[in-house]
Structure 1
């Protein structure tokens, strides 16, 4: 049965994908355990976020199947302070009609590769503890649990725990990072 489905193409998002991404995100706000937003994003806000990630040379990907946007994923700086510049936090959202087709695995695997190629050394995910499919996806892609923040969110009439997951990228902390000038970052950089 899965052989009859249109192939999935993972590519960089474009501004034309924003309405489909808003639709996917809006569904997850109303029904999902992922985003802690309670109001839909304004299209200009999503465009701004997308441009900010691309400006930082971080991937912002979509999965397309049969001309439809089946999901999207992106990486953003983990924290603003310079010491965290080699660590990214990512988000991934799959359209409700495309869940269970391994599209999340394809998107996340491609995102990991793109972040590694961009010189990132660690990737972090924050997942609601009740979101078992997302926890399994991350485990399948090499993430390990790094900690749990208990009862830090309140959504759908219940307290939610946030599970922090982490995955090393490239040589991780086994080597100094590239300084993008042909050398490595030294102490004090």
Structure 2
């Protein structure tokens, strides 16, 4: 499997992977899966703002993708990112998510970001919670019953990991984030 920066043609597979996650899972609290043009626009906005957007490819197929995005829009949060990792159901259990997350952490840290937040849909999402634990994330809290999806209330689990110098003195802020 090859890990690389996403390219525009990848968005077709990314859209299909995300569609399945929205329709059947709790990782995303979206209720209706966005179409191809919306997913292209979302990816373009993140890349234009300087955030990494990665894919794992296996024999010409996108096995999964991961990206970093702003944690919050206000300037004080500019050195903090939120991660997203999605894996095609055919490739789950093969270490794709872990490789994507590790690469995303390294790439985001190299760009000067200082904290990464995982906003995990549902406290029953043990696979995602465990993935983040083994990748060095700490539990930061649980927001109980904040989303209604698939006929039930869902929690949001917050996890956090330092990047680079973490919460050391901010001699420099994330270069891409500083311009926002």
* Shared fold (TM-score, shorter chain, > 0.5): yes
- In the aligned structure 2, how far is the partner of 1:27 from the partner of 1:84? 31
Picking from 128, 135, 145, the partner of 1:134 is 128
> What is the RMSD computed on CA atoms of the aligned residues?
1.4
- In the aligned structure 1, how far is the partner of 2:164 from the partner of 2:170? 11
Aligned pairs (5 A) from 1:41-120:
41-120=34-113
Q: CA deviation at 1:177?
A: 3.8
The CA deviation string for residues 145-182 of structure 1, in whole angstroms up to 9 with x for no partner, is 1011000011111111100010000001113142589x
> Is residue 172 from structure 1 mapped to residue 166 from structure 2 by the alignment?
yes
Q: How many residues align?
A: 175
The CA deviation string for residues 40-89 of structure 1, in whole angstroms up to 9 with x for no partner, is 11211111111111112110011101111000000001111111000000
- In the aligned structure 2, how far is the partner of 1:179 from the partner of 1:105? 27
- In the aligned structure 2, how far is the partner of 1:55 from the partner of 1:133? 31
- In the aligned structure 2, how far is the partner of 1:14 from the partner of 1:115? 18
Q: 5+ unaligned residues in a row in structure 1: which ranges?
A: 1-7
The verdict on how the C-alpha distance between 1:158 and 1:11 changes in structure 2, with shifts beyond 3 A counting, is same
The verdict on how the C-alpha distance between 1:179 and 1:169 changes in structure 2, with shifts beyond 3 A counting, is closer
Relative contact order (alpha carbons < 8 A, sep ≥ 6): 1 or 2 greater? 2
Bigger CA radius of gyration: 1
Picking from 159, 162, 170, the partner of 2:156 is 162
The CA deviation string for residues 63-121 of structure 1, in whole angstroms up to 9 with x for no partner, is 10111100000000111111100000011100000000011000000000000011100
- In the aligned structure 2, how far is the partner of 1:136 from the partner of 1:81? 30
- In the aligned structure 1, how far is the partner of 2:25 from the partner of 2:145? 17
- In the aligned structure 2, how far is the partner of 1:27 from the partner of 1:174? 40
Per the normalisation by structure 1, the TM-score is: 0.89
The CA deviation string for residues 114-153 of structure 1, in whole angstroms up to 9 with x for no partner, is 0001110000011121111000000000001101100001
